[in-house]
Amino acid sequence: MTAPITIESLCHDFQDFRALSDIALEIDAGEYIVLLGPSGCGKTTLLSILGGFIVPSRGAVKIGGRDMTGVAPAKRPTTTMFQDYALFPHMTLRDNVAFGLRMRGMARRERHARAERLLELVGLHGDAGKRPHELSGGQRQRVALARALAVEPDVLLLDEPLGALDLKLRRSMQDELKSLQREFGTTFIHVTHDQEEAMAIADRIVVMNRGRIEDVGPPERVYQQPASLFAANFMGETNRLPATRGPQGLETPFGHLAAPQAPSGDGPFTVCLRPEQIRSGTDGWSLGSARVGDSAFFGTHFRCHLHCDDDAETTLIAHLPPEVQPRPGARLTLSVDPARLTIFAAEGAAP
Amino acid sequence: MRRLQWGYLFVAFAFIYLPVASLVLFSFKDGSLPLPPFEGPTLRWYAEVFGDRRLMAALGHSLMVAVGSSLTACVLGFLAAYGLARHVLPGSVWLRGLLIAPMTVSYLIVGLGLLIVFNQLGIGLSLWAAGIGHVVINLPLCFAIIYASMGAQQQNIERAARDLGAGEVRVITQVTVPMLAPAILAAFFLAMTLSWDEFVIAFLLTRFEVTLPVEIWSLLRSGLSSKTNAIGSIVFLGSAAIVLLLELFIFGRRRP
């Protein structure tokens, strides 16, 4: 029960507002895809188009090789899990989960047995006779998941499914979602604005911004080698250094940088350094000496604000290992591995 | 201070319930005038009411009109609310306003208007005409109550049902109506009590077969009598029973 999806040059306008422009994406059968972006980036619109709730202004959606662009939600091999769960308040959990099967004409005994098996699978064994209002948020979420999976869809669409849960529950539900997805083999498309959630569960992350796809790839690639400045910023903390084209490589506040990965053009450029790339030491590209400002302990690292001597205007954020003892006021010599830096044309620069 | 609060409560309830209480009390009086001093008690007047064929017929008519008109108003109100809550229509603000506006028109004006229209159309005065009148006054109410209960949350639930394969008819019958049952039943019972008590429209639009309030009015023309008190008590008990049912089975269940 799984299918690949092809999205071809999809555009959608809400009156004058362009919600999606020129979206193209290939999704393999059985993949766990996360659509990641800030609110208003078009990720929910894209999900609604995949679910059949919105017919796009232009472009096509193919699921399992068949054109589904204008097909109604009921006739698609997709089910949607709504953000507010949208459980039927007047039905028992058993009837909630069995609803899709009932619509398909399955006999009562059979569909109830199947519903109970699914409830057991999501850890609600013995609660089949309860009604949704008797459950906690996390339990409702599980019922919604069981209800969506009961009809054995090829594609499951999840609209910010963990948004209403507290952090701890969210982390444990992430693991459950991922293991259920592996078990069923269904293609999952999951919308979120939480970058950590995306990294925790996605096979591939689709970073979206202002109706466009900024980057598509496995979490580690999108994090380490983002395709755009937006993706670099959105996928976690990053230090940005301004740079211009010099005679050999780039000129930065920390001096000359030989960077073959810099894009062509005259600049200006933005050099992105992840906080954990900054090291205390001298090998690699030197950032000179710096004084530690604030420093907070996070278990695996200290998160520090570093005031650099070479460039008084720049405060770098670094994650330093506890052995370095980066206490406030301490002086450190900093460097980074230049091969791991990512460099983009600065915002507003001509491409 | 405490005493003052209880005193206020007592006075307030006395103000509301004294007229009804005296009506009920004097319906048990053994004497033809429902005035002090109290003698009795007796069930004589109740026996007379239940023995009166005209009154019993009027009671039946009232029930029929109340149930029929409330049912119609609820169905029409639900369909209007569903349409306006779920679809973007041009000028839907105006449509909503037009649907609710009749609530502000007095029953006398509605009754007169219907009288003129029925006369022009050659439709005779009857219980049907009164029933139509009650649909006219209760439709805005039913619409408003049901419309208010249809939020975005309910819309997402309907969307989920469609997503799981339900057609439009099954969405309405298996999801929307059961989900909104508290609001729909509240609208129905409220419409029923209003129709049950309504006099002006029923008086203007009925002729030979009349509803209970009209029958009571014609009895009152021949003066006060303990018998009218007995009928009044029965009517009051009917309304009170509906409100009680409403509270027990609909509003009570909403708070889990």
Q: What does the pLDDT look like over A319-338, one tens digit per residue?
A: 988 887 778 888 888 888 88
Closest residue on chain A to B170 (Cα): A103
Contact B159 A90 (CB under 8 A): no
B156 in contact with A, Cβ within 8 Å: yes
Q: How far apart are CA A185 and CA A197, in angstroms?
A: 20
Q: Looking at beta carbons, which residues of chain A come within 8 Å of B180?
A: none
pLDDT tens digits, chain B, 256 residues: what are they? 788 999 999 999 999 988 888 888 877 777 777 667 777 777 778 887 788 888 888 888 888 999 999 999 999 999 999 988 888 888 888 888 888 888 888 889 988 998 898 888 887 778 888 888 899 999 999 999 999 988 888 888 999 999 998 888 999 999 999 999 888 988 998 898 888 888 888 888 888 888 888 888 888 887 777 778 888 888 888 888 877 877 777 666 554 4
State the smallest CA–CA distance between residue B256 and chain A in angstroms. Answer: 8
What pLDDT does residue B152 have?
Answer: 80
DSSP string for B35-84? -SSP-----HHHHHHHH-HHHHHHHHHHHHHHHHHHHHHHHHHHHHHHHH
Closest residue on chain A to B177 (Cα): A90
Beta-sheet strand order (sheet of A58-63): A17-27, A5-14, A58-63, A66-67
Q: Looking at beta carbons, which residues of chain A come within 8 Å of B153?
A: 84, 86
What pLDDT does residue A351 have?
Answer: 47
Coil, helix or strand at residue A54: coil
B179 in contact with A, Cβ within 8 Å: yes
Nearest to A86 among B156, B166, B256 (CB): B156
Closest residue on chain A to B162 (Cα): A74
Provide residues of A within 8 Å CB-CB of chain B: 51-53, 72-74, 78-80, 82, 84, 86-90, 99-100, 103-104, 133-134, 147, 151
Contact A133 B256 (CB under 8 A): yes
Q: A160 or A349: which carries more pLDDT confidence?
A: A160
Structure tokens belonging to residue B134: 């009650």
State the smallest CA–CA distance between residue B242 and chain A in angstroms. Answer: 23
How many Cβ pairs closer than 8 A exist between chain A and B?
A: 58
What pLDDT does residue A349 have?
Answer: 57
Q: Looking at beta carbons, which residues of chain A come within 8 Å of B150?
A: none
Whether the complex's predicted ipTM surpasses the cut of 0.85: no
- Cα–Cα distance list, A67 to A71, B18, B165 (Å): 8, 73, 19
Distance of CA B200 to the CA centre of its chain: 14
Q: Is the peptide bond before B178 cis (omega within 30 degrees of 0)?
A: no
Share of chain A above pLDDT 90, in %: 24
Average pLDDT of the residues in A59-86: 88
Q: Give tens-digit pLDDT for A232-242.
A: 988 888 988 88
What pLDDT does residue A213 have?
Answer: 92
State the smallest CA–CA distance between residue B100 and chain A in angstroms. Answer: 29
Q: Looking at beta carbons, which residues of chain B come within 8 Å of A87?
A: 157, 160
Contact A91, A103 (CB under 8 A): no
Side-chain-side CA neighbours of A27 within 13 Å: the count stands at: 35
Query: Residue A165: is its pLDDT beyond 50?
Result: yes
Best residue of A71, A97, A103 to probe chain B, by most B CBs closer than 10 Å:
A103
Q: Looking at beta carbons, which residues of chain B come within 8 Å of A78?
A: 163
Contact B157 A89 (CB under 8 A): yes
Query: Residue A310: is its pLDDT beyond 80?
Result: no
Best residue of B154, B156, B164 to probe chain A, by most A CBs closer than 10 Å:
B164
Q: Looking at beta carbons, which residues of chain A come within 8 Å of B170?
A: 103
Contact B162 A73 (CB under 8 A): yes
Q: Looking at beta carbons, which residues of chain A come within 8 Å of B161?
A: 88, 99
Query: Residue A32: is its pLDDT beyond 60?
Result: yes
Query: Residue A36: is its pLDDT beyond 90?
Result: yes
Q: How far apart are CA B244 and CA B234, in angstroms?
A: 15
Q: Which residue has the tokens 């059979």?
A: A110
Nearest to B163 among A80, A90, A133 (CB): A80
What pLDDT does residue B211 have?
Answer: 86
Tell me, yes or no, if the pTM score tops 0.90.
no
| Helix (H) or strand (E) run with residue A273 in it | strand A269-273
Question: What residues of chain B, 65 to 124, have a C-beta less than 8 Å from chain A?
Answer: none
Within a 10 A sphere around the Cβ of B5, how many other Cβ atoms? 9
Best residue of B150, B163, B173, B179 to probe chain A, by most A CBs closer than 10 Å:
B163
